[in-house]
Chains A and B, each alone.
Chain A
Amino acid sequence: MAELTLIKAINDALATEMARDPSVCVLGEDIGRGGGVFRATEGLSRRFGPERVIDTPLNEVGIVGMAIGMAMSGLRPVAEIEFSDFIYPAFDQIVSEMAKMRYRSAGQFTAAVVLRAPSGGGIRGGHYHSQSPEAYYIHTAGLVVAMPSTPADAKGLLSSAIRGEDPVIFLEPKALYRTVKGEVPPGEHLVPLGVGRIVRSGVDVTLIAWGAMVPVAGKAAAAAAAEGVDVEVIDPRTLWPLDIEMIEGSVKKTGRAVVLHEAPRTCGFGAELSALIQERCFLHLKAPVVRVTGFDTPFPYALEKSYLPDPERTLRAIRASMDF
């Protein structure tokens, strides 16, 4: 197996699926000749031609709207938005058109677009290159929301998204693009949507994290282990629809849960996870669910490191849960 960075694994998924299925097209700004601002689509234009690797004008409404029309007529478009922070002009197309096409036409038309967008902080990008918008899309009926944290999952989840029948918001943790490396199966590789991954087994407390927070969770779990606390780390991988069985099973076992995410706290996905856990595991809980999150402020540039949850804050939350 090859050892790849996360961005190379994305590239591998796109190339593999495009080679397998001629209806797969990619579109977005700078993705053809430029190979994408993060180089996710590098080499695809040369290999598959500009008709299937489409450099579009600079307009997110156009990109998403065009992808919807392509999907409705049977193509499998994978649209790239350069940063998830730039997606908002297309919000209406995403939440009212792409997400609702199957429902409003009672299945006559579908818009199984895969919308890739680099997400999250940690690159000194300031407000407009750092936000974590997953909760908007989880809140929207009709969307699948996925976010990998390893190269193998990036390839496997993206490939499943491309072959799937539902629109997928595919958020990529840009902080991990080149900072994590891992074994990635060559050729076709699928990770099913809706199935989480137990990153580390443990019995004392369940720590749920996704995207760039998974390595943070791993470090916090290692530090907790040194204090004699055995943490189970779960990466849902698909945020919605969620692998509720995995989370429920884990929390019923440990009796404690900590939820870790970059996005602001209020109405973040951690709030929904907290509600689900207390609804389903109430009599098993030994402590309230603890949230470790970004703050309810705009994403700050100079104070980014203090805004983003780190292993230290996460460890404090684990201790708070254990000491309750």
Chain B
Amino acid sequence: MTNGVILSVLRPDGTADPSLDPGLPGPEMLSLYRTMVLLRAIDEKAVALQRSGRIGFFVPSTGQEACSIGAGHAVREGDWIFPAYRDHGVGLMRGYPLAALVGQILGNSTDATRGRQMPNHWCDRSIRLVSVSSPVATQLPHAVGAAYAAKVRGERVAVLTTFGDGGTSTGDFHAAMNFTGVFRLPVVFFCENNRYAISLPVERQTATGTLAEKAAGYGLPGIRVDGNDVLAVRKAVGDAMSRARAGEGGALIEALTYRLGPHSTSDDPTVYRSEEEVAAWRGKDPIRRFAAFLQGRGLLGDPAAEEAGAREVVRGAVEAAEGAPPVPLSSMFEDVYARIPWHLAEQRDGLLSGRG
């Protein structure tokens, strides 16, 4: 089903291929750009917070902004998002507030999820952004269930689920792709092939030439896209989501990109890849590439000013939330069940009274 072509819109000279340009209005494109810049500013700040011991952990998406922002922009109201932990950009693009994101990272009383999970594990019911889990690709079968529910109800919505190249090795990937094919469900599988699953290169995840060709084994179309080209990602995901909403079934999209930073703040990528390799990909920076295009269209002024502005916004959001009180101790025992059963009430009372 794949024809080997890698969909690309932004050309090396900074112009867009007119036959593939999704034709977004100028202000929309500027909002894509600004969210990419914001995403990178969040990464920089969060890594700094971790390095200074103010948060415990972070998973940056630096280098992959075109993927999550382009995919996030293709999501419409009513669609569902089942993201991986590196895809905060998808939520941001859908309107997940920066303050909520910062609150989740800090895990204090400003966190809507009450400090229940480590950073990068956000969710927001109001935009159908589903709770992130750490084990890889477990969200894929959930996307199938949400798509099935939508189909039963006759809702014309699509479900986007995102994951990395390592995710394609899991049993959950196989189960979800197979169910989607068999039930002809509106699930768009967006795989960000960033070349490494922690330390292991993609060649050690699969013996197939591409990840997209795995789709054929499930009766789904497989599409390859330049993952550092936000307009190409927007087009590929947007087209797949439209087909899904129209009842034409799901798709697997492989976005070719590169993680410029570590897997997480606990990872040292210098032990498994060369500086030359990283430098080569830094030259394909998705933000700079899109900035050049926008400048060529006269839509963007000074990128440095945009970046400085984003840093300031993030700094302000962290400042506003960092001093907030911790989550209350009693909250540990809530939301385990719909109502607190006797054994949790006893354990809570014991802890609170100092007897437990």
Contact = CB atoms under 8 A, between A and B. Distances in A.
Interface of A: 25, 51-52, 54, 56-57, 59, 61-62, 64-75, 77, 89, 92-93, 96-97, 100-110, 141-142, 144, 164-166, 194, 241-242, 244
Contact of A102 (B135, B149, B172, B336): B336
Contact of B152 (A75, A96, A110, A244): A75
Interface in B67-107: 80, 82
A97 B142 contact: yes
Given A97-B133, A109-B130, A241 B343 contact: yes
A116 to B, nearest CB: 17
B88 to A, nearest CB: 16
Contacts of B121: 104
Contacts of A100: 133
19 contacts: A57-B182, A59-B179, A62-B176, A62-B179, A64-B141, A65-B144, A67-B145, A69-B142, A93-B138, A96-B135, A100-B133, A104-B116, A105-B123, A105-B131, A106-B113, A106-B335, A108-B131, A165-B337, A166-B337
Nearest to A102: B335
A137 B171 CA distance: 22
Contact of A65 (B123, B131, B141): B141
Q: Find the residue from A69, A77, A107 having the highest chain B CB count within 10 A.
A: A69
A107 B93 CA distance: 23
B116 A68 contact: no
Contact of B145 (A77, A105, A244): A77
Contact of B335 (A72, A77, A92, A107): A107
A211 B113 CA distance: 38
A105 B104 CA distance: 11
Given A105-B125, A109-B123, 10 more contacts: A61-B175, A65-B138, A66-B148, A72-B130, A75-B149, A101-B131, A103-B116, A104-B117, A107-B335, A142-B336
Interface residues of B, number: 43
A47 B191 CA distance: 40
Contacts of B80: 73
A106 B116 contact: yes
Contact of B172 (A65, A104, A166): A65
B146 A108 contact: no
A61 B150 contact: no
A73 B146 contact: yes
Contacts of A103: 116, 335-336
Contacts of A65: 138, 140-142, 144-145, 172, 175-176
A108 B96 CA distance: 14
Contacts of B141: 61-62, 64-66, 68-69, 93
A20 B240 CA distance: 37
B294 interface: no
B115 to A, nearest CB: 9
B23 interface: no
Nearest to A77: B145
Interface in B139-180: 140-150, 152, 171-172, 174-176, 178-179
Contacts of A59: 174-175, 178-179
Contact of A106 (B112, B148, B171, B172): B112
B112 A141 contact: no
Tell me which of A101, A105, A107 has the highest count of chain B C-beta atoms within 10 A of its own C-beta.
A105
A77 B182 CA distance: 19
Contacts of A242: 343
Contacts of B5: none
Nearest to B151: A51
A257 to B, nearest CB: 18
B250 to A, nearest CB: 13
A69 B82 CA distance: 10
B272 interface: no
A105 B171 CA distance: 24
Nearest to B327: A106
A70 B148 contact: yes
B322 interface: no
A12 to B, nearest CB: 24
Contacts of A141: 336
Contacts of B338: 102, 110, 164-166
B76 to A, nearest CB: 16
